[in-house]
């Protein structure tokens, strides 16, 4: 049996690309060299533990490779990328309320500009992987720079703590569902996070007039990524006032107003005020809550409870930071007034701005989660700044802790190394069967629904309509069709599209609609005659509905709830149960389909 396991492991490793193996080997070698060459003043046991923790970091990096490789298998990545790539081809990002395509893009326009490099590729697999790599870099690169700058400031006293806190940040982020959704999905969260962290980093330094001006620009751009980020605009002003830098706060407000007006005017002129307001304000404001019907109090309590459960991991460094602060004796004279004490604290510990940013985005992220279209990725905007603030605070206080409590510093470092090692060896990528799945995906990354539909569309353009996969048709035919969740957004907001609008952005010679097994079929409501044909060999994993000659005139709802319920006798299994998920006005919000990122 052991020989069989060894053979399977060897066969799995055989299909891994050389860069992946080189990355893992380099991580282990770098950890060993660092512990031997740069940590000579540390205890031997701690140096050995630091070298062993590099094995855990290799497991975490392998998980990053796995999440990137599996990104084409997630329909939401292709569906989110389709309207952004269509914008580069001349299709309006925000469709007209009465005649535009239902793309479900209800966020700001900045991500459409950020993901433009994906238009250089011409197949869905490559486009999605490139977009996800962009998301990863935008999400983590500013945090890496922030920890690197803090590590550089403390000098030789923190040769261990900088790399260790960076590894801890990745370990926690890659074990947290909300942070994974924010970093490894093509959404507005990754560009927004890059702008948020960058704006805060600029105010953590000397706070010169150019830095304040650039921070104001980044804050405006972040607010135009996602509506729930608007409260962030007051955070720099509050931080500068707490740090008793009123001149810098005044300068920031002036730049914020000037850049806000200029950037907003350009975006409104480019994308259209009426369409932007309808998609960014009207639709989200009219959507019900996912839980508790229209009663906000129990729904809000549930959202806060879910936020706290997700925040356990990101809050761990902050708990360690508070413990360190309690162990370090205060040597500086304490100012007499509380305002001066708070100002001195903000000047000495500028990473407090990240805590303020996390607090300002807590309630908006919870409100975004409890809406019909919400999911756990909304929590990333408030939890990742909290995680980064804890890691930066530990790096900042490390020289003081090693001078005052050297034994306790060694204990904390040992706990951190053990945490990295355990997180790495217990990651999903190291579990039984995960290695085989990652190697198979790396050996054939095009084996996804997106690529299967793309190949089908090139052979039979315009024959089928795939509501859940608009990207392949865009790349194969150059046309953007309705996205399934676009129908859901409009119906749940009590703004259903007309039959004319529904038929305006589907293949004109459509013969069937293909729905992934166990998925919603809101789009099917707008076609008057259809029959269940089962599965097609060229489209594995899809249930196909043959469409009769559709009329482009008629009522808004071409198919009633009773008509759809009749399909239960001909479409068995879980797919049949999901057919009931067509919202009736009398049904509560609990009947809605799963949230966006599921």
3-state per-residue secondary structure call for 138-189: HHHHHHHHHHHHHHHHHHHHHCCHHHHHHHHHHHHHCCCHHHHHHHHCCCCH
**DSSP structural state of residue 106:** -
User: 574: which 2 tokens?
Assistant: 């879980």
* Residue 326 CB partners (closer than 8 Å, separation 6+): none
Question: What is the rounded distance in angstroms from the CA atom of residue 422 to the CA atom of residue 56?
Answer: 6
Cβ-based neighbour number of residue 107 at 10 Å: 23
> Quick one: three-class SS letters along 258-295?
HHHHHHHHHHHHHHCHHHHHHHHHHHHHHCCECCCCCC
* pLDDT for 56: 80
Residue 114: which of 173, 182, 180, 195 has the closest Cα?
A: 195
**DSSP structural state of residue 329:** P
Residue 541: which region, alpha, beta or left (left: phi > 0; alpha: psi -120 to 50)? left
Cβ-based neighbour number of residue 308 at 10 Å: 11
The angle at the Cα of 48, spanning 44 to 51, to the nearest 5 degrees, equals: 140
Rounded to the nearest 10°, the torsion over CA 104, 109, 113, 119 is: 20
**Dihedral of CA 285/287/291/294: which sign?**
positive
User: 144: which 2 tokens?
Assistant: 């890496």
* pLDDT for 426: 79
* Residue 44 phi, psi (nearest 5): -60, -45
User: 323: which 2 tokens?
Assistant: 């413990």
Contact between residue 513 and residue 547 where contact means Cβ atoms under 8 Å apart = yes
* pLDDT for 214: 94
Biggest CA pair distance of the chain: 83
* pLDDT for 440: 65
Residue 384: which of 158, 597, 181, 239 has the closest Cα?
A: 181
> Can you state the angle between helices 44-69 and 161-173, rounded to 10 degrees?
40
DSSP assignment of 544-594 equals EEEE----S-S-S-SS-HHHHHGGGGTS-SHHHHHTT-S--TTS-GGGSPP
Question: What is the rounded distance in angstroms from the CA atom of residue 508 to the CA atom of residue 95?
Answer: 19
Question: What is the rounded distance in angstroms from the CA atom of residue 178 to the CA atom of residue 387?
Answer: 12
Contact between residue 370 and residue 289 where contact means Cβ atoms under 8 Å apart = yes
> Can you state the angle between helices 406-425 and 312-327, rounded to 10 degrees?
170
Question: What is the rounded distance in angstroms from the CA atom of residue 193 to the CA atom of residue 138?
Answer: 7
Distance of CA 154 to the CA centre of its chain: 32
| Run of H or E residues at 530 | strand 530-536
**Could you list the mean pLDDT of each consecutive 10-residue stretch along the chain, which spans 598 residues?**
45 51 70 67 77 80 84 86 90 90 92 90 90 94 93 78 90 91 91 95 88 94 94 92 87 94 94 93 87 70 90 89 80 64 82 94 92 86 94 91 87 89 74 61 72 87 89 91 89 86 86 78 67 66 70 38 33 32 33 40
Residue 188: which of 130, 111, 252, 129 has the closest Cα?
A: 111
* pLDDT for 205: 82
* pLDDT for 406: 86
Residue 27: which of 54, 49, 63 has the closest Cα?
A: 54
* pLDDT for 550: 44
SS3 540: strand
Residue 374: which of 286, 493, 469, 287 has the closest Cα?
A: 287
* pLDDT for 533: 60
Contact between residue 78 and residue 448 where contact means Cβ atoms under 8 Å apart = no
Contact between residue 373 and residue 489 where contact means Cβ atoms under 8 Å apart = yes
Q: How many CA atoms lie within 13 A of 21 on its CB side?
A: 9
Question: What is the rounded distance in angstroms from the CA atom of residue 205 to the CA atom of residue 245?
Answer: 13
* pLDDT for 9: 44
Question: What is the rounded distance in angstroms from the CA atom of residue 139 to the CA atom of residue 118?
Answer: 17
Question: What is the rounded distance in angstroms from the CA atom of residue 547 to the CA atom of residue 511?
Answer: 5
């Amino acid at each position: 049996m052991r020989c069989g396991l060894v053979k399977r492991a060897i066969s799995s490793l055989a299909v891994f690309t050389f860069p992946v193996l080189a990355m893992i080997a380099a991580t282990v070698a770098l950890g060993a060299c660092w512990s031997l060459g740069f940590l000579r003043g540390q205890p031997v046991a701690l140096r050995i533990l630091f070298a062993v923790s590099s094995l855990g970091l290799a497991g975490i990096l392998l998980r990053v490779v796995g999440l990137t490789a599996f990104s084409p298998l997630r329909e939401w990545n292709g569906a989110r990328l389709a309207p952004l790539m269509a914008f580069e081809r001349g299709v309006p990002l925000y469709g007209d309320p009465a005649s535009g395509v239902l793309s479900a893009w209800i966020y700001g326009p900045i991500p459409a500009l950020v993901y433009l490099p994906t238009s250089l590729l011409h197949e869905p697999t490559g486009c999605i992987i490139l977009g996800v790599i962009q998301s990863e870099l935008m999400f983590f690169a500013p945090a890496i720079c922030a920890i690197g700058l803090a590590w550089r400031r403390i000098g030789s006293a923190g040769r261990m703590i900088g790399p260790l806190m960076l590894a801890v940040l990745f370990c926690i982020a890659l074990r947290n569902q909300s942070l994974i959704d924010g970093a490894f999905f093509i959404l507005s969260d990754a560009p927004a996070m890059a702008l948020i962290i960058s704006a805060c980093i600029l105010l953590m330094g000397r706070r010169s007039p150019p830095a304040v001006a650039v921070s104001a620009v980044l804050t405006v751009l972040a607010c135009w990524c996602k509506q729930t980020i608007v409260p962030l605009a007051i955070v720099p002003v509050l931080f500068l006032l707490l740090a008793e830098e009123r001149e810098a706060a005044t300068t920031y407000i002036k730049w914020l107003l000037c850049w806000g007006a200029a950037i907003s005017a350009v975006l409104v002129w480019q994308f259209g005020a009426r369409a932007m307001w309808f998609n960014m304000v009207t639709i989200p404001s009219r959507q019900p809550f996912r839980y508790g019907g229209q009663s906000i109090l129990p729904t809000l309590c549930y959202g806060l409870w879910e936020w706290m459960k997700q925040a356990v991991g990101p809050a761990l460094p902050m708990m360690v930071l508070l413990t360190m602060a309690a162990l370090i004796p205060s040597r500086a004279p304490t100012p007499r007034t509380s305002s001066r004490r708070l100002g001195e604290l903000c000047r000495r510990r500028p990473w407090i701005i990240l805590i303020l940013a996390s607090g300002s985005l807590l309630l908006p992220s919870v409100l975004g989660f409890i809406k019909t279209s919400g999911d756990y990725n909304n929590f990333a905007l408030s939890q990742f700044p909290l995680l980064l603030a804890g890691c930066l605070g530990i790096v900042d206080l490390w020289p003081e802790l090693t001078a005052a409590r050297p034994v306790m510093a060694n204990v904390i470092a040992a706990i951190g190394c053990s945490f990295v090692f355990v997180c790495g060896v217990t990651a999903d990528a190291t579990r039984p069967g995960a290695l085989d799945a990652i190697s198979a995906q790396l050996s054939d990354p095009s084996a996804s629904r997106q690529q299967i539909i793309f190949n089908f569309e090139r052979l039979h353009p315009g024959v089928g309509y795939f509501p859940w996969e608009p990207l392949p048709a865009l790349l194969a035919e150059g046309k953007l069709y309705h996205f399934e969740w676009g129908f859901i957004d409009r119906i749940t907001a009590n703004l259903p599209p007309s039959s004319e609008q529904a038929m305006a952005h589907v293949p004109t010679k459509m013969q069937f609609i293909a729905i992934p097994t166990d998925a919603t079929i809101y789009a099917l409501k707008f076609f008057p005659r259809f029959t269940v044909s089962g599965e097609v060999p060229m489209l594995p994993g899809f249930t196909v509905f043959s469409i009769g000659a559709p009329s482009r005139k008629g009522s808004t709802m071409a198919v009633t709830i009773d008509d759809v319920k009749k399909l239960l006798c001909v479409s068995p299994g879980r797919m049949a149960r999901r057919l009931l998920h067509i919202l009736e006005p009398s049904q509560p919000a609990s009947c809605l389909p799963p949230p966006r990122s599921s």
